[in-house]
């Protein structure tokens, strides 16, 4: 078993006159090649957990190990480097840069990392777009693409630096049914054929059914597997 992401006692509390606990005491292990869905009621802490796992927010307490490395105590620059090298992100709204073509959006992470020569980066960017069925969109601006095409480009961008984990927050929220189904298939293929680790926050039961495992959060707390199974059965009815 190759655990690529592990948490222990992961907690995030927003301070204030009345502190708000977003995530509470989460212990979690996710293996390489696992496709994991995260579900729960609105306000249950799903996105907050994803932002912690993605090292975008700092926990109030607890630890996160990514690729066997303890991320506690890392500086902001070190965390940014880990995110760039080991993590890929896909959000509900694609967040492609409007003034850049699809290909240039995919090249951004590679250029920032600065490992590949430009010609190799270009070839890789085109290969990624092709693998996701949007090679013909390479020179187009995001405004000239459909929602489904933009999300495919966003997935290509997330894959640019060969991340250890891809994290997606409601990636189908702005898509029609056909595009949602296509994206679900893409994530399944990435996990099963390329051994990518995928963690997706979703409200869509059909999307979660495609995952290897579904986690349920209620009031910031990760539910035990037996209760999570019951909650999932309720969600898909």
pLDDT digits (tens, 9 = 90+) for 44-64: 999 999 999 999 999 999 999
Q: What is the CA radius of gyration of the chain?
A: 18
pLDDT-based confidence at 237, cuts 50/70/90? low
Convert the pLDDT of each residue in 6-36 to its tens digit: 999 999 998 888 888 999 999 999 999 999 9
* Every domain of the chain and the residues it spans: 3-236
Strands (E), the chain: 3-14, 20-31, 35-39, 61-66, 69-70, 87-91, 165-169, 197-201, 213-218, 221-222
Q: Is residue 230 pLDDT above 70, yes or no?
A: no
What pLDDT, in 10s, does the model give residues 178-229?
878 888 888 898 899 889 999 999 988 888 888 999 999 999 999 887 766 6
| pLDDT at residue number 186 | 86
Q: What is the DSSP letter of 206?
A: H
The CATH superfamily label for domain 3-236 reads: P-loop containing nucleotide triphosphate hydrolases (3.40.50.300)
Identify the CA nearest to 72 among candidates 88, 58, 51.
Answer: 58
């Amino acid at each position: 078993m190759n655990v690529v992401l592990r948490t222990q006692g992961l907690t995030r509390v927003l301070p204030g006159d009345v502190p708000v606990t977003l995530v509470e005491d989460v212990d979690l292990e996710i293996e390489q090649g696992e496709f994991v869905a995260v579900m729960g009621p609105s306000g249950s802490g799903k996105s907050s957990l994803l932002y912690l796992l993605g090292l975008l927010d700092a926990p109030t307490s607890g630890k996160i190990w990514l690729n066997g490395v303890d991320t506690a105590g890392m500086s902001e620059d070190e965390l940014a480097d880990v995110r760039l090298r080991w993590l890929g992100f896909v959000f509900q709204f694609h967040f492609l840069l409007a003034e850049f073509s699809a290909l240039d959006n995919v090249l951004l992470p590679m250029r920032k990392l600065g490992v590949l020569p430009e010609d190799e980066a270009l070839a890789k960017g085109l290969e990624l777009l092709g693998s996701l069925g949007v090679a013909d969109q390479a020179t187009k601006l995001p405004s000239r693409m459909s929602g489904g095409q933009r999300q495919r480009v966003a997935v290509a961008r997330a894959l640019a630096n060969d991340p250890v984990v891809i994290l997606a927050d409601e990636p189908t929220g702005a898509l029609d049914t056909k595009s949602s189904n296509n994206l679900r298939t893409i994530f399944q293929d990435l996990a099963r054929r390329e051994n990518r680790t995928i963690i997706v926050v979703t409200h869509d039961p059909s999307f979660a059914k495609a995952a290897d495992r579904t986690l349920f959060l209620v009031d910031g707390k990760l539910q035990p597997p037996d209760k999570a199974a019951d909650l999932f059965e309720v969600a898909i009815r």
